[in-house]
Structure 1
Amino acid sequence: MKVVLFCGGMGTRMREFSETIPKPLVNVGHRPIIWHLMRHFAHFGHTDFILCLGYKGEMIREYFLNYNPMLSEDCRLEKGVPKLMSGGTDVRDWNIDFVDTGLTRNIGQRLVAARHLLRDEEVFLANYSDQLCDIDLDRYVATANAQNKIASFVSVRPPGSYHSVTTDADGTVNYIGPWADSELWINGGYMVLRQAIFDHIEPGDELVEAPFQRLIAKKQLYSHRHEGFWKAMDTYKDKLAFDEDYEKGRRPWEIWNLG
């Protein structure tokens, strides 16, 4: 099953990095966040990727085309010959299509621009390339397929220390509490899409706006609730939180290391 990764945005909320590199290349530990995401998909056998490029897309191409595992994996130099110490596999076993989808296109139009590479895929996966999760993709995909909807996505509890508030019409508060204790769920970005999705995207459409509203009207949109780990890298603060978790060994998304 092919995986479409949207990695062409300008990352305006990550200007500390995005002025020099595209957000998908911002490191979590020793590797870009997009590598961690792709490694998650690959763990479940999904190793055919389509990268929808845009802003600084040439840097993403360069990273994968010149990929050197010796720079990020444990290795040994034996009489001048570098050898990996682990038997793990990653980029060397993946298939990657690089597609220039333009600087200003939105997600829906980037997907349409990659349609020609999906014509043989009745069902395919898609993701925003800026979040990590510990979801069991086998179970999620099986559940989504059983629903037989045109589109499915993972919904998650929004992390963070903000509080959810509900009020009466006059502003009287009747509830305030952590987001995690409320009924608020957000789009977690892991999507399972069928070919029919293209019949619901019109020129200029953003994927989760008009197209998803059309699917809702036809009862063709399914959301799978995931209560495990999920975290997005939207801001510099998120980047620092990822770094802290990584250095302290809190890496729940690395399910490929669970044995």
Structure 2
Amino acid sequence: MKVVLFCGGQGLRMRDAENLPKPMVHIGSRPLLWHVMKYYAHYGHKDFVLCLGHRADVVKNYFLQYQECLSNDFVLSGGGKNVELVSSDIHDWRITFADTGISSNIGQRLRAVRKYVEGEEEFLANYSDGLSDLPLPQQLDDFHRQGKVASFLCVRPNLSYHVVATAPGSSLVSDIHPISNGDIRVNGGFFAFRKEIFEYIGDGEELVEEPFHRLLRDQQLIGYSYDGFWASMDTFKDKQQLEGLQGGGAAPWEVWKKPAR
């Protein structure tokens, strides 16, 4: 399947990254966008459509000047003149770079790349600001079994807030617990769409507003629940936590490093 990635937003809360598209903020030696693409490529989905906006030049130049040696073993010989890669990341990836507007919302970015998924019965999409070890084939099996237009990942929020309940008509607290321990689920941003999704998106509309409510009305929207690892990168603290996981050799989203079963 083709994979549509929304990567035109700004990293306004990322400290020193205000001038970068948020998916281009690095985790280790590679940007967040690369980690998302590497995840999909692991499952065989290597045809990407990048929805560009803010600082599109950063994304384009990154791949035009891509350095395989940063994340692959290689052999150097000839006094540094010869470089022999032991493995490669993107030699079999196909990447379409599409300008979808500086300030367009997600729904309009998706509409703007419709021509690049023309002829596809179904395709994948992602906000490109979150990582997960979601077994993608399982989500897709559920998507195909139910035969609906859209599926998205439902996860427990990775927030440090506590949910508080008070007694009726009183300020007396009756319950308090971490939000991640409750029944609240949020949109985790891993989408699977059938081509009919474009029939639900009107001019100027945001994806999860009017279009998703039309899908709800027609009973065409699936929420795929998953309780494994999921984390979004919205703040500098989130970036530090993800870098800590990767630096410690325990990055759950790096499914491509796990032994094949």
Q: What's the CA shift for 1:175? A: 2.5
In 2, the alpha carbon distance for the partners of 1:169 and 1:55 equals: 47
Letter in 2 for 1:84: L
Q: Could you list the runs of 5+ residues in structure 2 that have no partner in the other structure?
A: none
1:169/1:151 Cα in 2 relative to 1: closer, same or farther (>3 Å)?
Answer: farther
Letter in 2 for 1:212: F
Taking only aligned residues, the RMSD between alpha carbons, in angstroms, comes to: 1.4
Q: In 2, are the aligned partners of 1:16 and 1:236 still within 8 Å (CA)? A: no
Matches within 5 A, 1:154-169: 154-167=153-166
Matched, 1:258 2:258: yes
Letter in 2 for 1:73: N
Q: In 2, are the aligned partners of 1:7 and 1:53 still within 8 Å (CA)? A: yes
In 2, the alpha carbon distance for the partners of 1:6 and 1:228 equals: 23
In 2, the alpha carbon distance for the partners of 1:121 and 1:38 equals: 19
Quote the residue 2:197 is aligned against: 197
Matches within 5 A, 1:1-259: 1-19=1-19, 21-79=20-78, 80-85=81-86, 87=87, 89-167=88-166, 170=169, 172=171, 173-259=173-259
Q: TM-score, normalised by structure 1?
A: 0.94
1:168/1:126 Cα in 2 relative to 1: closer, same or farther (>3 Å)?
Answer: farther
In 2, the alpha carbon distance for the partners of 1:101 and 1:160 equals: 31
In 1, the alpha carbon distance for the partners of 2:6 and 2:57 equals: 14
Q: Percent identity?
A: 46
In 1, the alpha carbon distance for the partners of 2:242 and 2:164 equals: 28
Q: Per the alignment, in what secondary structure is the counterpart of residue 184 of structure 2?
A: coil
Q: What's the CA shift for 1:168? A: 5.2
Q: In 2, are the aligned partners of 1:64 and 1:91 still within 8 Å (CA)? A: no
| Aligned structure 1 segments of 4 or more residues deviating by more than 6 angstroms | none
Q: In 1, are the aligned partners of 2:122 and 2:195 still within 8 Å (CA)? A: yes
Structure 1 range deviating more: 33-42 or 21-30:
21-30
Q: Could you list the runs of 5+ residues in structure 1 that have no partner in the other structure?
A: none
Letter in 2 for 1:63: Y
1:58/1:166 Cα in 2 relative to 1: closer, same or farther (>3 Å)?
Answer: same
Q: What's the CA shift for 1:126? A: 0.3
Q: What's the CA shift for 1:29? A: 1.3
Letter in 1 for 2:130: Q
Q: Per the alignment, in what secondary structure is the counterpart of residue 252 of structure 2?
A: coil
Q: In 2, are the aligned partners of 1:29 and 1:247 still within 8 Å (CA)? A: yes
Q: What's the CA shift for 1:160? A: 3.0
Q: What's the CA shift for 1:165? A: 2.3
Letter in 1 for 2:241: A
1:65/1:126 Cα in 2 relative to 1: closer, same or farther (>3 Å)?
Answer: same
Cα shift readout 1:158-187 (whole Å, capped 9, x = no counterpart): 113211223455355433101222101100
Q: In 2, are the aligned partners of 1:122 and 1:195 still within 8 Å (CA)? A: yes
Q: TM-score, normalised by structure 2?
A: 0.94
1:74/1:146 Cα in 2 relative to 1: closer, same or farther (>3 Å)?
Answer: same
Cα shift readout 1:48-80 (whole Å, capped 9, x = no counterpart): 000000000111011112211113333221112
Q: In 2, are the aligned partners of 1:159 and 1:180 still within 8 Å (CA)? A: yes
In 1, the alpha carbon distance for the partners of 2:18 and 2:137 equals: 33
Q: Per the alignment, in what secondary structure is the counterpart of residue 129 of structure 1?
A: coil
In 2, the alpha carbon distance for the partners of 1:129 and 1:5 equals: 6
Q: In 2, are the aligned partners of 1:150 and 1:193 still within 8 Å (CA)? A: yes
Cα shift readout 1:119-149 (whole Å, capped 9, x = no counterpart): 1111110000111100111111111121111
Q: Per the alignment, in what secondary structure is the counterpart of residue 219 of structure 1?
A: coil
